[in-house]
Structure 1
Amino acid sequence: MIADMNKYDLEDRLIRFAANIIRLAELLPNTPIGNHMKGQIVRSGTSPALNYGEAQGAESKNDFIHKMSVCLKELRETFVAIKIIKQSGLIKNLNMLEDCYVENNELISIFVKSIETAKRNNKK
């Protein structure tokens, strides 16, 4: 599936993921902890879509790899935030939380493979 995915499919997927993260954040309680986690997950969960757009306009192969690595870093940060939210019981809608968790994990895998491929191709 990853090999068949084009850059527009991935961009759309990242945008859908960002929108789902925003919806998930809206479910967090209006408490100091809920608001902290809300800000954290919105920043890291929307960043990959924005940074992926920058990667598409990269000035060099190294710049592309760097920007893709930023996307991966933010996806990993979001993944940990989702785990914290899940384990702390801040959200009762576990279906939405699980959907974001699964998609986040798949996106991490896609970016790991894409970065590996870009690095391999950059050495040629």
Structure 2
Amino acid sequence: MESESNIGKKFDLEDRTFDFANNCKGFLKQIEKNIHNVEYYKQLIRSSGSVAANFIEANESFSRNDFSHRVKICRKEAKESRLWLRLIDINEQLAASRDVLIQEATELMRIFGAILEKTKNTN
């Protein structure tokens, strides 16, 4: 059985990944819809949402291997989200918002990497 502090942390990360996907969506509503951005827009929506969805799946996994696999997908999708954020054409007014999202994607990648290391070390 999980301790109360672990339960809170698990759900905090679920909320954080949800917020990341939602914040990406809000950011995208503000960008210019040119030919390049339309494709990046679609990719960012998919990858940022996938971070959140796969973390929920990880928390509902049936085995340690399934958990690790889902967390690896989370890390990969966060890294992909960072790429799409960097590729989107924006004006100077949106640079700070994009930088915050890139920083969050980077932090999520590191968190998922640390979870994978901890999981690997407990095997």
The bucket for the TM-score relative to the shorter chain is 0.7 to 0.9
Q: Retained in 2: the 8 A contact 1:28–1:35?
A: no
In the other structure, the counterpart of 2:120 is 119
Match of 2:84 in 1: 81
Query: 1:91 — aligned with what?
Result: 90
Specify the alignment match of 1:110 in structure 2.
111
* Structure 2 counterpart of 1:67: 70
CA distance in 2, matches of 1:47, 1:25: 16
Give, in whole Å, the separation in 2 of the partners of 1:27 and 1:36.
Answer: 15
Name 2:101's counterpart in structure 1: 100
TM-score by length of 2: 0.88
CA distance in 2, matches of 1:66, 1:99: 27
**Partner letter of residue 111 of structure 1?**
F
RMSD (CA atoms): 1.6
Find the aligned partners of 2:35 and 2:68 in 1 and give their Cα distance.
Answer: 37
What is the deviation of 1:95? Answer: 1.4
Q: Does the residue aligned with 1:116 lie in a helix, a strand or coil?
A: helix
State how far apart, in whole Å, the 2-side matches of 1:99 and 1:47 are.
19
- In structure 2, the partner of 1:6 is 9
State the 4+ residue runs in structure 1 displaced beyond 2 angstroms. Answer: none
SS of 2:122's equivalent in the other structure is helix
Q: Contact (CA 8 Å) 1:26, 1:38: kept in 2 or not?
A: no
* TM-score, length of structure 1 as denominator length: 0.87
1:1-40 CA-partner distances (Å, limit 9, x unpaired): xx98710111111111111110122223222211101001
Where do 5+ consecutive residues of structure 1 fail to align? Answer: none
Paired-residue identity, %? 31
Q: Where does structure 2 lack aligned partners over 5 or more consecutive residues?
A: none
Bigger drift between 3-12 and 21-30 goes to: 3-12
Tell me the matched-pair count: 116
